[in-house]
């Protein structure tokens, strides 16, 4: 065995998976996991832990995998993370734990994500559950939103003995984990639902179909429903559109709508009661993880799919693994390309997308080179469906109905990073509602910080 190289992970064949919604990555088995764990040199001053937003004791759990003590490995991970089967699948490890791995200097870093996933899957298959608090402290906390931030915050507080209720606006718990990330990256029934059950097993109650800001306000939760503190993890918000002509045509969707239909409402399944448009040729505008998810969903529903992104491959905000998978499956990348108009037929249906070529100029405020239009480069891509994946702007539902809750100039809720403390007493916040659209693990990190902040606040009250 070459210690510089990772134990390769088995994947579903690219051709085969392009036509189904089953999980792409098949994960390690026990032998493969133990073999990969052997490569860890158990650094004293472990850099990987510093790269983890929830500070999992990585060398600790990898050491247990090495020895074959999977239950012990699961306990170590559970001390820091409530959703390991999810993080093992969707964290951008290459820029976090694995990005800091000493092994990565000369060879390939340890496959920490794949090991975490293996341990979590093993625990689920063997019926191992995280441990709840032995005694309750009698204090009530409300958590708004059951996505990664809310679930993590709720899980941590429940372990500390708090009586936690999560309020979810949709009919199902999980937030972006159920409506946003597709089945082929994150299986809902076997992985997401089971992790949520684990959080519930800690004593957390989840009330679905409650839109906070409409059915009940934060102030009512605090003053009338007897909650001692509130954590807001309400997520990203309203999808952005480009504001170009033709964008209201039939066949133009936000990635949020397209993915919600497919993931939450199961519209990818022919028997679903919720419809989804099956495009023949689809353009997905944007280059983030959400754009990749939408493109790969359209591909699986039978479309020739184009990514349309105005910068070059280097600037694609999506994870390297997602871009790699998308290419393998046959997604066509239209880089340095920017839409200027969506063309529609006489009945209002999309029949093409007019684009211009771009070139990269001087770096802009984000440090990335600014794309500039190449004069006279207009051309049309022949498509019957367009998916806009341009990010989101914050939902004002909570901030506009909560007195004393400050928002910044982007309308995100103002909260400190260390404890998630907002400008309103007893109210904490974290995740996309605070940072704007980011990742599952950063939201989890913010959920943890919020739990710490709420515990400190209520312990001193």
Partner 1 sequence: MYKIRKAEELTTNIYLMVVEADRVAKSCKPGQFVIVRTDEDAERIPLTICDYDREEGTVTIVFQIVGGGTQFMSTLKEGDAFHDFVGPLGCPSELTNEDIESLKKKNILFVAGGVGTAPVYPQVKWLHEQGVAADVIVGAKTKDLLILEKEMESVAGNLYVTTDDGSYGRSGMVTNTIQDLVNEGKKYDLCVAIGPMIMMKFVCKLTEELNIPTIVSLNPIMVDGTGMCGACRVTVGDEVKFACVDGPEFDGHLVNFDEAMKRQQIYKTAEGRAFLKEKEGNTHHGGCGHCN
**How many positions of this chain bind partner 1 (CB under 8 A)?**
38
- Distance, in Å, from the CA atom of 455 to the CA atom of 461, rounded to the nearest integer, reads 10
Closest C-alpha to 77, from 128, 36, 125: 128
Nearer to partner 1, 52 or 413 (CB): 413
**Taking contact as CB under 8 A, which single stretch among the options 164-172, 332-340, 354-362, 435-443 is the one that binds partner 1?**
164-172
Residue 241 as a binder of partner 1 (CB under 8 A): the answer is: yes
Instruction: Spell out the SS3 assignment of 5-34.
Output: CCCCCEECCHHHHCCCCCCCEEECCHHHHH
* Binding-site member from 50, 214, 280, 324 for partner 1 (CB under 8 A): 214
Nearer to partner 1, 236 or 441 (CB): 236
**Taking contact as CB under 8 A, which single stretch among the options 127-135, 184-192, 265-273, 434-442 is the one that binds partner 1?**
265-273
Q: Closest approach of Cβ 128 to partner 1, in Å?
A: 28
Q: Closest approach of Cβ 307 to partner 1, in Å?
A: 20
Residue 348 as a binder of partner 1 (CB under 8 A): the answer is: yes
- Distance, in Å, from the CA atom of 310 to the CA atom of 338, rounded to the nearest integer, reads 5
Nearer to partner 1, 25 or 252 (CB): 252
Residue 192 as a binder of partner 1 (CB under 8 A): the answer is: no
- Distance, in Å, from the CA atom of 353 to the CA atom of 441, rounded to the nearest integer, reads 35
CB 156 within 8 A of CB 132: no
Q: Which secondary structure element, helix H or strand E, spans residue 166, and what is its range? A: strand 163-167
Nearer to partner 1, 117 or 140 (CB): 140
CB 100 within 8 A of CB 92: no
Task: Name the CA dihedral angle for 392, 398, 402, 404, rounded to a multiple of 10 degrees.
Answer: -30
HSE on the CB side for 205, CA within 13 Å?
8
- Distance, in Å, from the CA atom of 418 to the CA atom of 395, rounded to the nearest integer, reads 23
**In which region does residue 246 sit, left (phi positive, over 0), alpha (psi from -120 to 50) or beta (all else)?**
left
Residue 188 as a binder of partner 1 (CB under 8 A): the answer is: no
Considering only residues 383 through 412, tell me which ones interact with partner 1, judged by CB under 8 A: 395-397
- Distance, in Å, from the CA atom of 419 to the CA atom of 434, rounded to the nearest integer, reads 12
Q: Closest approach of Cβ 348 to partner 1, in Å?
A: 4
CB 254 within 8 A of CB 241: yes
Residue 171 as a binder of partner 1 (CB under 8 A): the answer is: yes
Quick note: the x/- pattern for partner 1 over 42-81, rule CB under 8 A, is ----------------------------------------
Tokens of 94: 């290459």
Nearer to partner 1, 266 or 369 (CB): 266
Nearer to partner 1, 92 or 431 (CB): 431
Residue 280 as a binder of partner 1 (CB under 8 A): the answer is: no
List interacting residues with partner 1 (CB under 8 A).
169-171, 179, 208-211, 214-216, 237-239, 241, 243, 247-248, 250-251, 253-254, 256-257, 260-261, 265-266, 272-275, 277, 347-348, 395-397
């Amino acid at each position: 065995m070459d210690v510089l190289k990772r134990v390769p992970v088995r994947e579903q064949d690219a051709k085969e998976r392009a036509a189904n919604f089953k999980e792409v990555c098949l994960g390690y088995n026990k032998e493969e996991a133990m073999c990969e764990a052997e490569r860890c040199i158990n650094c004293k001053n472990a850099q990987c832990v510093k790269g983890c937003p929830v500070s999992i004791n990585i060398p600790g759990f990898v050491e247990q995998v090495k020895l074959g003590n999977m239950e012990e490995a699961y306990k170590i991970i559970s001390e820091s993370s409530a959703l390991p089967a999810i993080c093992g699948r969707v964290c951008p490890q290459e820029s976090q734990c694995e990005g800091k791995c000493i092994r990565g200097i000369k060879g390939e870093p340890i496959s920490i994500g794949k090991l975490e996933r293996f341990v979590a899957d093993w625990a689920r298959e063997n019926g191992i559950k995280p441990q709840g608090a032995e005694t309750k402290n009698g204090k009530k906390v409300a958590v708004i939103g059951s996505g990664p931030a809310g679930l993590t915050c709720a899980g941590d507080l429940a372990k500390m003995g708090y009586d936690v209720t999560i309020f979810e606006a949709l009919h199902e718990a999980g937030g972006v984990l159920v409506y946003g990330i597709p089945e082929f990256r994150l299986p809902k029934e076997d992985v997401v639902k089971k992790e949520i059950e684990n959080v519930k097993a800690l004593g957390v109650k989840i009330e679905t179909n409650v839109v906070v800001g409409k059915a009940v306000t934060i102030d009512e939760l605090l003053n009338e429903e007897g909650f001692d503190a509130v954590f807001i993890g309400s997520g990203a918000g309203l999808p952005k559109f480009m504001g170009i002509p033709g964008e209201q045509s039939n066949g133009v969707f936000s990635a949020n709508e397209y993915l919600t239909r497919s993931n939450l409402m199961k519209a990818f399944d022919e028997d679903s009661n919720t419809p989804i448009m099956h495009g023949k040729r689809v353009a997905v505008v944007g280059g983030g993880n959400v754009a990749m998810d939408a493109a790969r969903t359209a591909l699986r529903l039978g479309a020739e799919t184009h990514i349309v992104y105005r910068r070059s491959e280097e600037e694609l905000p999506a994870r390297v693994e997602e871009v790699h998978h998308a290419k393998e499956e046959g997604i066509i990348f239209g880089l340095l390309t920017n839409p200027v108009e969506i063309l529609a037929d006489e009945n209002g249906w999309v029949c093409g997308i007019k684009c211009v070529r771009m070139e990269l100029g001087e770096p802009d405020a984000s440090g990335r080179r600014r794309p500039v239009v190449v004069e006279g480069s207009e051309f049309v891509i022949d498509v019957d469906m367009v998916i806009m994946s341009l990010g989101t702007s914050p939902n004002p539902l909570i901030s506009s109905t909560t007195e004393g809750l400050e928002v910044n100039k982007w309308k995100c809720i103002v909260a400190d990073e260390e404890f998630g403390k907002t400008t309103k007493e007893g109210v904490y916040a974290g995740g996309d509602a605070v940072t704007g659209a980011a990742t599952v693990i950063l939201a989890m990190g913010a959920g943890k910080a919020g739990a710490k902040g709420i515990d400190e606040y209520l312990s001193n009250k």
